[in-house]
């Protein structure tokens, strides 16, 4: 009886193939994770002498060779927050129109092509567009508003694409059930489609935050400044019409423009920028998991 259920040579070959594939995929995953851990560990080790609460809340001193990064940290929050407020509603509404209202015609295909092309435009081109459109044409000047709008334009394609995918993942049966009881298209979108796709929409927002916080060229051309005097601990040091410091620009400045800077300062700035992005991403992922857990399908 035991021999009847013994593994055949074909079954053994399948098991070996499956084990080999599992090992290969595990190595591929490790090849992606280990370099990231090594980079982060390397940055933390070199930044450790400068890291601390004082480094975060203090202002640059001694020609930016000493002190902290408070003005750059607050400026980054301004730029990312305002760009998020601008790009998220526009991106979500555009995706709703393309997925729920627009018919499959030449106009819809043209808009999709424009979104794809916009996602592939280099950041330096976005910087020149922001310089011409917002700084000069709209006469916002070199300001937080110009830099934030440039970042918003740059990150729109990611939000539109991820939102469309999230909306498309909601089963059509949900929409049909609402229409059968007399609900309008907008009522269906607002009460059924959007609540069931919010976790996917947050994916695009997460990517938008990560990219906006790390970009240098767009803000360098439109609103970031080498240095700006700010009081320590001031939560509202900038106006929309003023220029500001930013972590990415500050890191570039310390690494290339400031002589005799302490070795740990650029690395500590990089760690704070990375930690800020990771904290925002972790919070968004936690919210997304919580929302996904509430789904009934």
pLDDT tens sequence across 235-254 = 888 888 999 999 988 888 88
Residue 135 has pLDDT above 90, yes or no: yes
pLDDT tens sequence across 142-153 = 999 999 999 999
For the residues of the chain, what is the DSSP string, one character each?
-TGGGSPPHHHHHHHHHHHHHHHHHHHHHHHHHHHHHHHHHHHHHHHTTT-SHHHHHSPEETTTTEE--HHHHHHHHHHHHHHHHHHHHHHHHHHHIIIII--SSHHHHHHHHHHHHHHTS-HHHHHHHHIIIIIIIS---SSHHHHHHHHHHHHHHHHHHHHHHHHHTS-HHHHHHHHHTT--HHHHIIIIIHHHHHHHHHHHHHHHHHHHHH--HHHHHHTB-S-----TT-S----TTS-B--HHHHHHHHHHT-TT--THHHHHHHHHHHHHHHHHHHHHHHHHHHHHHT---
Domain architecture of the chain: domains with CATH: 56-293 (1.10.3720.10)
pTM: 0.85
Mean pLDDT score across all residues of the chain: 86
């Amino acid at each position: 009886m035991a021999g009847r259920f013994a593994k055949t040579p074909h079954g053994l070959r399948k098991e070996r193939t499956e084990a080999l594939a599992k090992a290969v995929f595990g190595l591929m995953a490790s090849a992606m994770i280990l370099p990231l851990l090594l980079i982060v560990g390397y940055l933390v080790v070199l930044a450790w002498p400068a890291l601390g609460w004082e480094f975060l809340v203090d202002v640059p001193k001694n020609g930016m060779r000493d002190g902290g990064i408070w003005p750059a940290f607050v400026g980054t929050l301004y730029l990312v927050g305002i760009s998020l407020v601008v790009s998220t509603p526009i991106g979500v509404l555009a995706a709703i129109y393309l997925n729920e209202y627009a018919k499959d015609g030449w106009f819809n295909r043209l808009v999709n092509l424009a979104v794809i092309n916009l996602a592939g435009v280099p950041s330096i081109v976005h910087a020149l567009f922001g310089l011409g459109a917002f700084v000069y044409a709209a006469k916002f000047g070199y300001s937080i508003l110009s830099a934030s709008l440039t970042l918003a334009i740059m990150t729109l394609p990611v939000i539109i694409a991820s939102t469309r995918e999230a909306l498309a993942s909601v089963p059509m049966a949900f929409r049909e059930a609402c229409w059968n009881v007399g609900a309008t298209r907008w009522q269906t979108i607002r009460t059924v489609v959007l609540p069931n796709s919010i976790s996917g929409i947050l994916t695009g927002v997460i990517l938008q935050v990560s990219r906006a916080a790390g970009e240098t060229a767009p803000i360098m051309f439109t609103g970031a400044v080498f240095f700006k005097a700010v009081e320590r601990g001031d939560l509202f040091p900038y106006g929309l019409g003023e220029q500001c410091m930013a972590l990415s620009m500050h890191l570039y400045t310390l690494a290339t423009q400031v002589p005799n800077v302490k070795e740990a300062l650029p690395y500590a700035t990089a760690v704070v920028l990375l930690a800020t992005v990771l904290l925002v991403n972790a919070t968004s992922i936690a919210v997304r998991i919580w929302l996904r857990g509430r789904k009934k399908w």
